[in-house]
Structure 1
Amino acid sequence: MFFYVKFFYFFIVYVIMMVIVVIDYWRCFMAYFLKQSHLKGRTYLSIVESFYSPEKHGSAHRTYKSLASVETWKKKGIDDPVAHFQKEVDELNAAHKIKKELQISDESPEVYLGYFPYASLLKCMDIKKYVDYLNNSNSFTFDLYELLSTLIFARLVNPCSKRKTFHEVLPKLHQSVHYSYDQLLSGLGYIGNDYGKFIEIFNEQLDMVYKKETDKTYFDCTNFYFEIDKQDDFRRKGPSKESRKDPIVGMGLLLDANQIPIGMKMFPGNQSEKPIMRDVVNDLRNTYQINGRTIHVADKGLNCADNIAFAKENGDGYLFSKSVKMLPETEQTWVTMDSDDWEEVRDKEGHLVYKYKSCIDQFPYNITIDENTGKKKILMFKEKRVLTYNPKLAAKKKYEIEKQAEKARELCYSQAKRSEFGDLGKYVDFINEKGGKAKAKINQEAIDKERKLAGYNLLVTSETKMSEREIYETYHNLWRIEESFKIMKSDLDARPVFLQKESTIKGHFLICYLSVLLERLLQFKVFNKEFSTYEIMKFTREFRLVKGESKYINITTSSRFIKEFAKLSKLPLTNYYLTERQIKQILNYKI
């Protein structure tokens, strides 16, 4: 029985294939010929077209052009009408052959469509209305909103240099653009000069639609390198996050309680990032008259006495991490002390995830009271300190310490110069015996001390009534801001940057910031965190079409995201063929 079923299946497939071959065969031989008909002693000419008829399952004919009689054409001076019109038939057949042999085009048939959810978000927030106000008050010869929105879409679907974006990406968006490359750079410079104004527009409209929550704000800084030799006033050499020696610019990013970006500040690469947090928070307060209390959350790199004093002065709270290695000896003793104060947090299998203990006390901070003279004063602040220990983090740190210590030993044995040790110098003592050349000797005590403190992290906060677990979970939401930087640097290829002017550089990073903002709104507000950043960005990049003769072919890879989004939106996102009407339906989708 199975044999007959299998035979029948292959027979049906064979028949279908033969039908396709026959159709293609007849299509290849679709042609024109000159027909001669004899009636009442006269010869009538006509050009007839042969074609494949699905109804007849074979060839059929239809009159393409009636040409009157041979005798009539001879009276008009054509000696051989048959030869004359045969030439026309030959030309028709030659043109038909060229038409059937499809040629490659100067323009790519590929169309990017993955930007449509972001276009819907812009419409939902009515961004165009407020950008148009700026457009109308300036003498632009291009549409500023079109430039802003299409640069965001291009950055999301295929990030690359501005020149490549203009020549290779923008033409593949389903909507055409109406500005030149020079106008692109001019517009980018304009939005870069006033990037804070555009962030303000987006924040105001974001608040109208989704509501910002500023009871907790998350802040962090990063920097972006430039592959140039000479510094300028903006691109300066400083401590690079990627340990590069190239000039850099810094970026401070502020997120609200829902990890939605609500503020950005660009600054020269040689500036300290610690005061930037105060600038961004101040800008946000002044712009939106935020009078409510907010908790500033940041990592140890931004934990300084002046930032803590700034939060207290404004009636806000703070939650920072603090380096355990930098604590006084008395506090380090509390860190490593074995006691019954530890509370353990375990997973479903009973494995230790982390443990914690806490204390509330008055702690001293050396505060700057005069910016001009640098005069400082010690103030006591009441705060809660939560010490956590993570066994997985401890194992990772000990492995890294051992690798660094081994490298330091190798440098000691090879009698390397002091400058060659770099950061490994913390594991080495340089001893100068009898006025001779200093020799490097491993400081085993320093290595053992670092190993002893591995896995510990100290959180300090003004929120003494907040539970230890809430403090831990609030602080660890900072990974979202790290992810935002990762999206910029990896998914959006924010660097390296090939622009030269400060204004266009800032405009470039504004486009990256707004792209992240829209992705976060899609992920957190529209999809309610059901999908990861990877899934959303994969769809954004891969939702592409290829333009055929009459329809578009969807070349997107199937995924859980596209299937669920198709159900939610009731759009034909998973269809293989898409018509122009269906594409308009997708582009007009309202979130």
Structure 2
Amino acid sequence: MFIRKRKNPSGSISIQIIDKSKGKYKVVETIACVKDKKELEFYLAKAESRLKQLNPNLFDAVEFNEKKHRFIGIKNKEISVVGPDIIFGYIMEYIGCDKVLKKLKEKELFKQLVLSRIIDPGSKLNLIDYLYIYKHQNLDKNEIYRFLDTLSLNLKDKIEQCIFEYTSMVTGGIRVSFYDVTTLYFEASSEDDLRKVGFSKDGKFTKPQIILGLLTSLEGYPLGFEIHEGNCYEGKTFIPMLEKFQKKFNIEKPIVVADSGLLSKANILELEKLNYRYILGARIKSSSSEIKNKIVSLNLNDEKNIETIYFSKNQKMIVSYSQQRAKKDRYTRTKNYEKLKIKIKSGNLTKAHLNNKGYNKYLVLSDSQTTISIDEDKYNYDSSFDGLKGFVANDFSLNPTQIIEHYTNLWHIERAFRISKTDLKIRPIYHRLEQSVRMFLNFVDF
């Protein structure tokens, strides 16, 4: 708000308090309409007083002016940014990650590597610029690389120990753990023992990559991670990490939650052999005909939306129905059905397309072996599964609702991957040596 003097056609002057906070001039109050110069000064002073009542200053005018004079002679090079160190540095100390290194210089460099990844994610050269501009520190890039090379591999174990102790303290113990994997690609043209070309979740199929397996708590706190060769099958990363984590911290075996990509007969048998309780996403449409028929016969709907199928005394499948999921499934299936019809009409489909990849499973060859058509019975049968989702579990102490709730909390681990890839800009990776890669991926920033 401000004071405006407006001259009227009659020659008088209106003294008004104006508000322009919403982009338009609005008369809040008219103080007076005067012609005399002395009156003008009097009412302007009155308007100033009224303006202070309507729009009080954050600081007292005298106090503000005193503080303002203190900073008049300060130059930019004398100003340092301390906020990130105070806030995020305190968090590091509270968790205990400041104690993983003993030498003061190493502790400070490790801290700056972590904080820069949060505040201004970028390369090591970016860290040098950040320290120079905001903290007036000169650091050589080779000093950073030597530091990474000299860090012992047990640093990861020390950090995981700190994180585990902190997580156990704030959550009351690790009862449920989530596991998932993602891929991280390198800006490199050649492979080595670790960096391999494989199935990329980032769409970088020609770039060498590694597989990152992450274990988190029910609340989303990271517990541990491992890296594997880029062409490794993700299902093989699952059991070894669970065993390593459970033995390392000597805790009761938690309930393991993972998505359907890790669901294989070998994994399930191994989990049961090692006495793990698990909740895994089920691929309903890939189940046997007997199980699929049982699921269809449940006739799930909005009123009856959860049922249980028992495979044995040690295993069961929870099947849930969601109207929102059904709408999405129906839309996707219909959309791809129309695409197949267009392709058939254009004659672009050949025998090579007769496979079970995606919606090609609906394609069949005519009796004359010359034309390709859509198997309408198979397409219509699939509509029976619209809106259905399955969960395989061997923990009979949990009711169906609890099992579904635990599985839906997998979003925590997806969020961890999203934060690392977007907010922390962890990809692409430019490091070449395996030890440097492992040090780079230490998850203090989570």
Instruction: Give the TM-score taking structure 2 as reference length.
Output: 0.75
Contact 1:115 1:157 in 2 (8 A): no
1:409 aligns with 2:347: no
Which of 1 and 2 has greater Rg? Answer: 1
Does structure 2 conserve the Cα–Cα contact (< 8 Å) formed by 1:130 and 1:201?
no
Residue 251 (structure 2) pairs with residue 286 (structure 1): no
Unaligned runs of 5+ in 1: 17-53, 55-99, 136-141, 346-354, 363-380, 517-591
**Which is bigger in relative contact order (C-alpha 8 A, separation at least 6)?**
1
Distance 1:412 1:480 in 2: 42
Name the structure 2 match of 1:515.
Answer: 445
- TM-score between both structures, scaled by the size of structure 1: 0.58
* Structure 1 residues 199-214: aligned runs within 5 Å: 199-203=159-163, 205-206=165-166, 209-210=169-170, 213-214=173-174
Deviations 1:44-79 (A, max 9, x none): xxxxxxxxxx9xxxxxxxxxxxxxxxxxxxxxxxxx
Rounded Cα–Cα distance in structure 2 between residues aligned with 1:427 and 1:172? 61
Contact 2:246–2:253 (8 Å) recurs in 1: no
- Is residue 2:259 matched to residue 1:299? yes
2:424 paired residue number: 492
Instruction: After TM superposition, give the deviation of residue 433 of structure 1 in Å.
Output: 5.9
**What is the CA–CA distance in structure 2 between the aligned matches of 1:454 and 1:191, rounded to whole Å?**
52
Q: Which residue of 2 aligns with 1:308?
A: 268
Aligned residues: 388
- Do 2:302 and 2:323's aligned partners in 1 also have CA atoms closer than 8 Å? no
**1:118 and 2:88 aligned:** yes
Query: Whole-Å Cα distance in 1 between the matches of residues 179 and 197 of structure 2?
Result: 23
Summarize the alignment of residues 207-226 of structure 1 with structure 2, pairs less than 5 Å apart: 209-210=169-170, 213-226=173-186
Give me the CA root mean square deviation: 3.6
Looking at structure 2, the residues matched to 13 and 101 of structure 1 have their Cα atoms a distance apart, in angstroms, of 35
CA offsets 1:240-284 (integer angstroms, 9 cap, x no match): 223431332111111123321111011111101112121211111
1:127 aligns with 2:59: no
What SS does the corresponding residue of 2:441 show, helix, strand or coil? Answer: helix
The CA deviation at 1:102 is 11
Change (3 A) 1:188 1:415: farther
Alpha-carbon deviations, 1:420-450, whole Å to 9, x = none? Answer: 897453343467967xxx7643344443343
Q: Give the AA of the match of 1:318.
A: Y
- CA distance 1:209–1:468, shift in 2 (3 Å): closer
Superposition map of 1:446-461 within 5 A? 446-461=378-393
CA contact (8 A) 2:181 2:211 kept: yes
> Residue in 2 aligned with 1:563?
none
Give 2:62's aligned residue: none
Counterparts of residues 232-381 of structure 1 (less than 5 Å): 232-245=192-205, 246-290=207-251, 292-339=252-299, 344=303, 355-362=305-312
Q: Output the CA distance in 1 between the equivalents of 2:46 and 2:202.
A: 58
The answer for the alignment partner of 1:386 in structure 2 is 318
Distance 1:173 1:451, change over 3 A: farther
Tell me, yes or no, if the aligned pair for 2:220 and 2:413 is still in contact at 8 Å.
yes
Task: Give the 3 Å change call, closer, same or farther, for CA 125–325 of structure 1 in structure 2.
Answer: same
CA contact under 8 A between 1:125 and 1:209: conserved in structure 2? no
Aligned residue in 2 for 1:425: 360
Do the aligned partners of 2:307 and 2:319 also contact (CA within 8 Å) in 1? yes
C-alpha deviation, 1:162, in angstroms = 2.4
Query: Which consecutive unaligned segments of at least 5 residues does structure 2 have?
Result: 1-15, 17-28, 35-39, 50-64, 66-71
1:248/1:269 contact within 8 Å kept: yes
- Aligned counterparts of 1:447 and 1:171: Cα–Cα separation in 2: 63
SS of 1:166's equivalent in the other structure is: helix
Q: Give SS of 2:31's match.
A: helix
1:495, distance to aligned residue in structure 2 (A): 1.3
Equivalent pairs: percent with the same residue? 19
